[in-house]
Amino acid sequence: MKKLSASVALAQQLVGFDTRNPGSNELECITFLSELLNREGFDLTVLSFDENRPSLVASFGEEKGPAFCFAGHIDTVPLGKKEWASDPFGRDIKMGRLYGRGSSDMKSGIAAMVTAACNLKKRLPKENKLILIIVAGEESGCQGSYHLAQNAGVIGRAGALVITEPTNNYPLVGHKGALWLDIAFKGKTAHGAMPHKGVNAVYKAAEAVRQLEEFTFNMEPHPYLACPTLSVGYLHGGINVNSVPDGANVGVDIRTIPGMSNEDCIRQIGSLLGGSAEITAKVNVSPLWTDPNLPWVKNVYATVAPILGEVPRPRTVAFFTDGPPLKAAYGGIPTLILGPGDPSLAHQTDEYCPIKEIEDATFIYEQLAESWYNFSPDKC
Ligand SMILES: [Zn+2]
């Protein structure tokens, strides 16, 4: 049997860790990666946003010029209700594919960036600085990366960032922001036979849903990300039929575009609904956008064209990533999303990643980093 390449073997090992989120399962996997990178001589910082929820920042080099940074997350989504064809943590390789939860989203990307970094460390001059950021808690709203961004001293400084989420190794320039709101309405309970003695919270919530359906953002469409959207995902209220409900909740999924602030959106929704609604942002991730005409982006397109068999065009992705908080923490540096695995397989039953894409990603990451150090930062 053919020996697995280092990046595929590492991806296989990472899939063996159960890092499902919700949960607090990332510690063992981050410890494993810390030990690996420590053996390779990287400088390491581990920072936890909660008990057993650590993120890892690993780097080498002296930072004579702006550093190059790769980032990704180690948590995965749950398994879903449908039964898997094989053990989701069994690390099976069949028909040139690595199967398992997180194989596509995004342990293959982590394995490729770690392997590329280890290879680069052996041959780059020591004045070239490379940073790896591996976070916990992305799937529940980028908790790990927002926490790192609040402690920005930990991540140092960088000039360009690649998020190694699955894109079939196609470089993508952005995504919409995600703002998931829970809006709580309060009332006063009473017997269902005497509704005039209570205040019905479901009526308040229903009126809010009607207003939200008519809400418009007044934004010009973005040329690549189109228009912002709003969708009411749930209306929960009341306990039993013969009581006036004193509580109701409405869930709203808003997808924002560049030029909008999520905080402004919360204020607009608040003023639309009046003071009685209590709004909590459950997920609050800003949009991500990098101008595809920047010289560095063009340089990346030229670097990956021979591997993809085409010159990439500006494209975006539907899901959100750790890009927005990290890009902001680095002062708005150009940021691309590029990694192995088919984005449509993320979060699916029987998720897999083609091993060829893991090997290609490793090669691409090495090329991108090396070309970055030959690239003048003022050309960004
Ligand atoms: Zn992901």
State the distance from the centre of ligand 1 to the C-alpha of 139, rounded, in angstroms.
7
**Residue 321 CA to ligand 1 centre (angstroms):** 6
State the distance from the centre of ligand 1 to the C-alpha of 247, rounded, in angstroms.
34
- CATH 3.40.630.10 domain locations along the chain: 6-175+287-379
Closest CA to 56 of 85, 33, 82, 23: 33
Note the pLDDT of residue 64: 82
Taking the centre of ligand 1 as the mean of its atom positions, its distance from the CA of residue 119, in whole angstroms, is 24
Under DSSP, the state recorded for 105 is: I
Which runs of E-coded beta strand occur in the chain? 43-48, 54-60, 68-73, 93-94, 97-99, 130-135, 160-163, 174-175, 177-186, 190-191, 229-237, 243-244, 247-256, 278-285, 288-289, 335-337, 352-354
Contact 38, 44 (CB under 8 A): yes
Q: How many whole angstroms from 362 Cα to the centroid of ligand 1?
A: 18
Fold of 6-175+287-379: Aminopeptidase (3.40.630)
**Cβ-contact 375, 296 below 8 angstroms:** yes
Give the whole-angstrom CA distance, residue 77 versus residue 36. 25
Kindly give the distance from the C-alpha atom of residue 9 to the centroid of ligand 1, in angstroms, as a whole number: 20
* Topology annotation, domain 181-285: Alpha-Beta Plaits (3.30.70)
Determine the pLDDT at residue 378.
62
Distance 113 CA to ligand 1 centre (A): 14
**288 CA → ligand 1 middle, Å:** 14
- Give the whole-angstrom CA distance, residue 41 versus residue 147: 25
- Residue intervals in the chain for CATH 3.30.70.360: 181-285
Tell me how far the alpha carbon of residue 178 lies from the centroid of ligand 1, in angstroms.
14
Going from the Cα of 226 to the center of ligand 1, the distance in angstroms, rounded, reads: 22
Separation CA 81–CA 93 (nearest Å): 23
Q: pLDDT means per 10 residues in the chain (380 residues)? A: 89 96 90 98 97 96 91 94 93 95 96 98 94 95 95 92 97 97 97 96 97 94 95 96 97 96 94 91 96 95 94 94 97 97 89 96 97 74
Between the CA of 327 and the centroid of ligand 1 the distance, in Å, is 16
**In which residue are the tokens 């991108």 written?**
368
Ligand 1 centroid distance, CA of 77 (Å): 9
Span from the CA of 98 to the centroid of ligand 1 (angstroms): 17
pLDDT number for residue 379 = 57
Compute the distance from residue 111 Cα to the ligand 1 centre, in Å.
14
Question: How open is the CA angle 366-5-170, to the nearest 5 degrees?
Answer: 45
Q: How far is the CA of 163 from the centre of ligand 1 (A)?
A: 9
Q: What distance lies between CA 189 and its chain's CA centroid?
A: 41
CA 351 to centroid of ligand 1, rounded, Å: 13
120 C-alpha to ligand 1 centroid (Å): 24
Beta bridge partners of 69: 131, 161
Amino acid identity of 82?
A: K
Kindly report the number of other CB atoms within 10 A of residue 318's CB atom: 9
Give the number of other Cβ atoms within 10 Å of residue 307's Cβ.
Answer: 13
Distance 297 CA to ligand 1 centre (A): 22
CA distance 136 to 27: 9
Q: For residue 74, what is the DSSP state?
A: -
106 Cα to the center of ligand 1, angstroms:
5
Distance in Å, CA 193 to ligand 1 centroid: 50
Judging by DSSP bridges, how do beta strands 288-289 and 174-175 pair with one another?
Answer: antiparallel
Cα–Cα distances in Å, from 110 out to 7, 19, 73, 234, 314? 9, 13, 7, 35, 24
pLDDT at site 24: 77
Q: What is the pLDDT of residue 344?
A: 86
Cα 31 to ligand 1 centre (Å) = 20
Expressed in angstroms and rounded, the spacing between residue 149 Cα and the centre of ligand 1 is: 18
What is the pTM (predicted TM-score) of this model?
A: 0.93
